[in-house]
Structure 1
């Protein structure tokens, strides 16, 4: 099983570090984008995603994970596990991206409404702010030359 583990630092301006299985045909890259409001000549405002150079609490960011099979054989059983950096609150998958499995502890994964956290000596339903990891599994083998990407929205705490 190939399990690339992406470690995204809390400093959004720093590039992400990718730790994966030994060097092989699976290329994985990640980037962090921040929402930027841009005013058009007609007075309307549009939101664009731009590389995160600076971000402050409350800013909405998007974490993007891109992958590609550079080999000559299909790759199977691929799981992407992406920790959510401290100081960042998970919000939702980016529209058009696959819905990830979520975790509040890095061990148990599922849909948000299936997760619980300990609070004040009891268990409560998990909230988006409790998410510590997002994970995607490729359902089918990744063909040679095939590529894709996953992304999720978050906010700086």
Structure 2
């Protein structure tokens, strides 16, 4: 199984104080790290990544319209919704099977949704993957006891159901072969923290 790891390093640059989105986009390009042998036909699948900012405005008729804006043309601020698009294309002459794409979710972004409902998610740094309703998060909280009259006791670990903002990684295991020359998109939305 071939895995592609996509880093969205641009987010760090976009969120750095004093830099415009345009400056950050030019300073920290997206990168793709291929983790397979060059003779593997899956190496023929190329991935391009981009991030778009969703802006919602009222049109002249009063309707609400959402548009995608290049982050190089606007200032990205906390609360902005980002659309992450990973476009893949098989540039080889053979169909490619067993193609997997792993995408970390930057810590400055809270996941809203993955647009492919068959994607797998991780809330533990990419160690385990599953569907969101099946995932849990373990948290350490301070426990108060009656005997201590409001003082906090030793920390206690609790488990709760995971929510979208807990997601640290997304994994797409493409269910069908990618035919020679075929392409597609893998997308997710997040909000800048």
TM-score by length of 1: 0.90
Name which one, 1 or 2, has greater alpha-carbon Rg. Answer: 2
Output the CA distance in 1 between the equivalents of 2:179 and 2:117: 18
**Is 1:17 the counterpart of 2:31 in the alignment?**
yes
Output the CA distance in 2 between the equivalents of 1:34 and 1:52: 6
Output the CA distance in 2 between the equivalents of 1:51 and 1:137: 28
Specify the alignment match of 1:91 in structure 2: 112
Q: How far has the Cα of 1:45 moved from its partner?
A: 3.2
5+ unaligned residues in a row in structure 1: which ranges? none
Q: How far has the Cα of 1:91 moved from its partner?
A: 0.8
Specify the alignment match of 1:30 in structure 2: 49
Q: How far has the Cα of 1:35 moved from its partner?
A: 0.7
What secondary structure does 1:49 align onto?
A: strand
Counterpart pick for 2:162 among 126, 142, 153: 126
**Is 1:6 the counterpart of 2:25 in the alignment?**
no
Counterpart pick for 1:113 among 133, 147, 160: 133
Q: How far has the Cα of 1:107 moved from its partner?
A: 1.1
Query: Which has the larger helix fraction?
Result: 2
Let me know the Cα RMSD of the aligned residues. Answer: 1.7
**Is 1:138 the counterpart of 2:174 in the alignment?**
yes
TM-score by length of 2: 0.74
